[in-house]
Structure 1
Amino acid sequence: MKNKNILELCLAHGLGGLELFVASCYENFSSKATCKVVVAPGTKLDNYLENIDKFHIQRNKLFPFIPALQLAKYIDENDIDIVHFHWTRDIITAVLAKVLSKKKPKLVQSRHMRMTRFKDDFYHKWLYKNIDMMHAVTLQVKEQLEKFIPSEIRPKIGMVYLGVKASKIDEVKVAELKKQYNLKDEFIVGIVGRIEEGKGQYKVIEALYALKDLDIKVLIVGSAMDEEYLKTLQDKVSDLGLKDKVIFTGFTKDVDEYMQCFDVNILATENETFGLVVVEAMVNRVPMIATNKGGPLEIIEDGADGLLFDGSINDLAEKIELLYKNKDLKESISKAGYLKAREKFDWDKQLDKLYKAMI
């Protein structure tokens, strides 16, 4: 049997865990099969995938047949067997392309977001009837898909956690970062991700204010999706008198090296579906504090390999202070988190499971 030709589709404009997973799928699947990538031109994902051959189409909300026709032609020209898409808004483009193509490829959707309402209207029934498989990134998402998609049109559903690579650290880069940001013996709290209100950077800033008498600095790593919101955060830092304690680094590809500067990493999202940054921190031997909802509940055993907080600023401050004052707990969580990340969330193992399920 010939190797399958796989197409990774993602027209999203951001660069978070979903988009980085597209890059991971391409990298891993390319070692097993012929793999193509379709992205929107000029997006952060397009720029991130800088040295590979990509096909560009632009999402068209009003006239979805236009990008679907372009995609259908590309599918047929490249003999694509499987279209693997990730962004929920790409569902209409993918389904229409399948219908319009001669090849009629298998459609697989990785579902990175929660599903909260029934998909039993005519439109959604037509869409899901044309999808062959859905990949849920957590057990919670799998349960939601089974609950909200009617059984008679529900695609095959598989659950595979996302995975991370064991980090290969550039120690020279780490030293450069510490020098660049004048990091010495302070306790460094990090938060990595897009700068937007839902990611909760403001909670970390306010928790720092509650702990202002301790020797703590915060590194906020990520690009701003909304410059106005970034300015709001910067003004908050200034108003609270924390300008010498909070550093906004902007976007970086060197996430592992930044994490080597952290004493703890925070996920402050109110309800993260999975939380790739959680396992990224764990594999970097950085203790993790995450909100006690959604994906982190399936990753972290509270008090053993990470800490969970209730979403409030007071509880977040208490958890940070706990690690600040308890070096033994910090080290035990670091070690246990690393071992769990290697055993349960290994990049190669998880993507191999997904690949086998897809084909």
Structure 2
Amino acid sequence: MQATNLLILSPVAERGGAERVMVDTLKYLNRSKFHAKIVFFEQGSLVEEMRSLGYAAEVLDAGRLRDVGIYVRVVGALRGLIRQDAIDVVVSWMPKAHLYGGIAALLEGKKSIWWQHMIPKPHWMDRIASKIPAHGVLCPSRVSKHFQEKLTPKKRVMLNNLGVDLEQFGSKVHSVSDARAKMGLREDAVVFAFVGRLQRWKRPDVVIRAFNEAARGKNAYLLIIGGTLFGLEQEFEQELKQLAEVGDPSKVIFLGHQKDVGAILEAADTVVHASLMEPFGMVIIESMAAQKAVIAVGQGGPVEIITNGDDGFLYDGSQQQLVHLMGRILDGQLPLEEMGRKARLTVEKKFTVTHMAERFESNIRFILN
């Protein structure tokens, strides 16, 4: 059987959540059945990373959407690539890419599909992307799919759960004591972790406030793993550090961006997730793969991942209930190790990169039929 040729379009070339999903999907793609070429709309580290994985990758500078001349040029260049490489399906990673890829595919009479990484909002880009013809829209969760269907009720909106690379998380290369010693943490302390970009919608401020209250006078630390990205809300990190000063600043440790989050997580007892309407929760499944019981808000994507009280905790999103759960953990009332083992099993059964790539392949085959 002849391989299916894909043209993958990404508006950015640095790692964010959606871009990490793209890289992992292509890393585990069945290359005997699918060939892919990747086009980025700007320069960045992902260009060489994709080439190192054996993919052809190039850059088409798309500039700003408001520049009609550049837009027409980019769409024309994409049409040329579709013809040159006998592309079967144009896959646009994120709505912005579909503004170009969807039109190029339509003009060339080819199938197109795009990735909706978020819960769509009534933003002009989501609305326009949803109106451009497409044979499918991939969503990471049922909640994301539900809201996307309100924008594209007649189109094929398909579920494509995310997955984690089990080799990167939960390998236990270092012992807990070694991981803590490396960061100067007491071995007998209770260690919480927040992982994610420092943006207001992810609510790390709520986590810090809850920790300040619950951990007062206790042997505990809070690791803040992540920083600002893409130039968004750069002042927020300083606000968070000032908030940490309200409690014991020596107990709230800002680690910034980390390439090997799995190694850092080995030092933690549990991971706290605070987004009120998370479209999926990549950090959640990564932490679960690392055998950590995750505390997450009981709406959106986390509800589709965590079984409350079994392999993690779901709370109502309030600071008050988060303080209560943290207090129970600090008092040793919850079986974190047992829940962590169950969390790992949940990921192994449902949320690996292999599962994610297989779902992607299945969705591609579906739109071709």
Once the two structures are superposed, residues 245-297 of structure 1 have per-residue CA deviations (whole angstroms, 9 ceiling, x without a partner) of: 11111112212111111111111112101011111111110110111110001
TM-fit CA distance, 1:197: 1.2
Measure the CA separation in 1 of the matches of 2:140 and 2:22: 13
Decide whether the 8 Å contact of 2:13 with 2:42 is kept in 1.
no
For the residue of structure 2 that corresponds to 1:2, the secondary structure is coil
Alignment correspondent of 2:314: 308
Alignment correspondent of 1:358: 364
Which residue, out of 63, 66, 73, partners 1:66?
A: 73
Q: 1:318 to 1:22 in 2, by over 3 A?
A: same
* Residue pairs, 1:223-302, within 5 angstroms: 223-225=227-229, 226-238=233-245, 240-302=246-308
For the residue of structure 2 that corresponds to 1:244, the secondary structure is helix
Which residue, out of 204, 218, 222, partners 2:222?
A: 218
Q: 1:12 to 1:312 in 2, by over 3 A?
A: farther
Measure the CA separation in 1 of the matches of 2:159 and 2:252: 38
Seq. identity, %: 22
TM-fit CA distance, 1:202: 0.8
TM-fit CA distance, 1:50: 7.1
For the residue of structure 2 that corresponds to 1:5, the secondary structure is strand
Matched, 1:163 2:167: no
Q: 1:66 to 1:187 in 2, by over 3 A?
A: farther
Query: Which stretch shifts more, 39-48 or 217-226?
Result: 39-48
Alignment correspondent of 1:37: 38
Letter in 2 for 1:113: M
Letter in 2 for 1:209: N
Once the two structures are superposed, residues 36-76 of structure 1 have per-residue CA deviations (whole angstroms, 9 ceiling, x without a partner) of: 22223344645765735421123331133232223222333
Measure the CA separation in 2 of the matches of 1:175 and 1:73: 56
Measure the CA separation in 1 of the matches of 2:223 and 2:146: 36
Alignment correspondent of 1:24: 24
Matched, 1:207 2:210: yes
Query: Which stretch shifts more, 57-66 or 164-173?
Result: 164-173
Alignment correspondent of 1:83: 90
Measure the CA separation in 2 of the matches of 1:321 and 1:14: 38
Q: 1:284 to 1:28 in 2, by over 3 A?
A: same
Once the two structures are superposed, residues 293-328 of structure 1 have per-residue CA deviations (whole angstroms, 9 ceiling, x without a partner) of: 100011111111110121121211211222232365
Measure the CA separation in 2 of the matches of 1:277 and 1:123: 29
Matched, 1:93 2:100: yes
Measure the CA separation in 1 of the matches of 2:356 and 2:225: 26
Q: 1:125 to 1:234 in 2, by over 3 A?
A: closer
Q: 1:207 to 1:98 in 2, by over 3 A?
A: same
Alignment correspondent of 1:132: 135
Matched, 1:144 2:164: no
TM-fit CA distance, 1:126: 4.8
Measure the CA separation in 2 of the matches of 1:322 and 1:28: 40
Q: Extract unaligned runs of 5+ from structure 1.
A: none
User: What TM-score, normalized to structure 2?
Assistant: 0.86
Measure the CA separation in 1 of the matches of 2:85 and 2:177: 46
TM-fit CA distance, 1:338: 1.2
Decide whether the 8 Å contact of 2:115 with 2:137 is kept in 1.
yes
Q: 1:123 to 1:306 in 2, by over 3 A?
A: closer
Q: 1:177 to 1:357 in 2, by over 3 A?
A: same
For the residue of structure 1 that corresponds to 2:259, the secondary structure is coil
Measure the CA separation in 2 of the matches of 1:56 and 1:329: 50
Measure the CA separation in 2 of the matches of 1:166 and 1:317: 31
Query: Which stretch shifts more, 271-280 or 47-56?
Result: 47-56
Decide whether the 8 Å contact of 2:328 with 2:334 is kept in 1.
no
Alignment correspondent of 1:12: 12
Matched, 1:322 2:323: no
Measure the CA separation in 2 of the matches of 1:164 and 1:28: 11
Q: Extract unaligned runs of 5+ from structure 2.
A: none
Measure the CA separation in 1 of the matches of 2:164 and 2:257: 19
User: What TM-score, normalized to structure 1?
Assistant: 0.88
Decide whether the 8 Å contact of 1:26 with 1:36 is kept in 2.
no
Query: Which stretch shifts more, 197-206 or 8-17?
Result: 8-17
Measure the CA separation in 1 of the matches of 2:123 and 2:320: 36
* Aligned CA-pair RMSD: 2.7
Aligned residue pairs: how many? 350
